[in-house]
Homo-oligomer: A and B are copies of this chain.
Amino acid sequence: MGMIGGGTGSFIGDVHRKAASIDGMIQLVCGAFSSTPEKSIASGRDLGISESRCYANYQEMIVKEKKLPEEERMDFVAIVTPNHMHIPPAKLALENGFHVVCDKPVSLTLDEALELEKVIDKSGKLFALTHNYTGHPMVKQAKALVANGDLGNIRKIQAQYLQGWLSTSIEKEGQKQAAWRTDPTKSGIGGALGDIGTHAENLIEYITGLKIEEIAADLGVFGEGRTLDDDGNMLIRMNNGAKGTLSISQIALGEENNLAIKVYGDKGSLEWHQENPNELLTRWLKEPQKTYTPNGNGLYPEALEVSRIPAGHPEGYLEAFATIYKNFATHLNAIKNGNTVEKIDYPTVKDGIRGMKFIYAAVESDKNNASWVKI
């Protein structure tokens, strides 16, 4: 794989590299890590990449790698830049025959995302969007419980993604991560909506197999000097009649990365918390509460097959992220070997488009005093 962005000091670039390496299926061979050739080379050196394959920019990387013999050149690019820099390299890579793994949200605007979908279709290449939280074994188990009808008809959903790290306006103090996330030219029309809201939206739809049909959003801008939302309180209605709430925040002081979901059906219900990802709580009409664990008792195959180590040995954020890469790499290897893949279990551009529609709907709703907007 070749990486675009993710130079020394980058949070998400490092995460992608670690995640990609865990299962031993993917090797980082080149990169356009930074905005200048010097920085890119310096970053690459830290990563053990030969200088000749540390490129000055993504254009150069794509052009030069394409010229390498097939067995040498990168198979796919991993795009880990801020939101506004996802689409240009993604398109160029696809158009030049490279598969793409891209961080979320997929784009700055909905139009870009829809345009990208066409490029992907035309290219025939793979495109994975790293909605990493869907890689957890207990999320797979949750999805399987719903899909197998164990919970019955879904009636109610509570989802939240709460962080507190933007409680104060640290973007004014030069905090780089905060700076681009609060800048509409780099993040798009959604702040917390795009950065974390799309994860929650994706998780809801992934687990329930339902679609959010409409949304009423009351966004908040609490940090001094900000223009983008750093908080949001939303009502949701699902396409099967279920209702729920979705609360997101980056000013929920003290919260670290509190993504959580509860799903209530008419036969059973479930609860999952990202900060303690190795437990899935379930509740039942007649039976006591049951707690599932990775590689523990009573799991569906979908959960078992993504658990790497024995029960009680906690897997975390990186491992779930790695599962996205692993499933992508498995698909890619199958294609290389001329095989077809029956079940593709990683997020694609379709998830990206849903995410963009979610952001757009929430922003529009908020502008209209939290009136309902269809997604």
Contacts and interface: CB of A to CB of B under 8 A. Distances in A.
A340 to B, nearest CB: 22
Contact of A21 (B24, B220, B298): B24
A204 B339 CA distance: 52
Contact of A164 (B14, B235, B283, B316): B283
Contacts of A47: 24
Contact of A291 (B11, B252, B288): B288
Contact of A268 (B220, B254, B274): B254
Interface in A304-354: 308-319
A17 B21 contact: no
Interface stretch (A76-84, A85-93, A367-375): A367-375
Nearest to A253: B269
A318 B309 contact: yes
A282 B288 CA distance: 10
Contacts of A236: 233
A24 B318 CA distance: 14
Interface residues of A, number: 87
B311 A314 contact: no
Contacts of A176: none
Interface of A: 11, 14-15, 17-18, 21-24, 28, 47-48, 155-156, 158, 160, 163-165, 167-168, 216, 218, 220, 222, 231, 233-237, 243-245, 247, 249, 251-258, 262, 264-269, 274-278, 282-293, 296-298, 308-319, 369-372
Given A21-B24, A155-B253, A256-B311, 6 more contacts: A22-B22, A165-B310, A168-B285, A253-B285, A288-B297, A371-B371
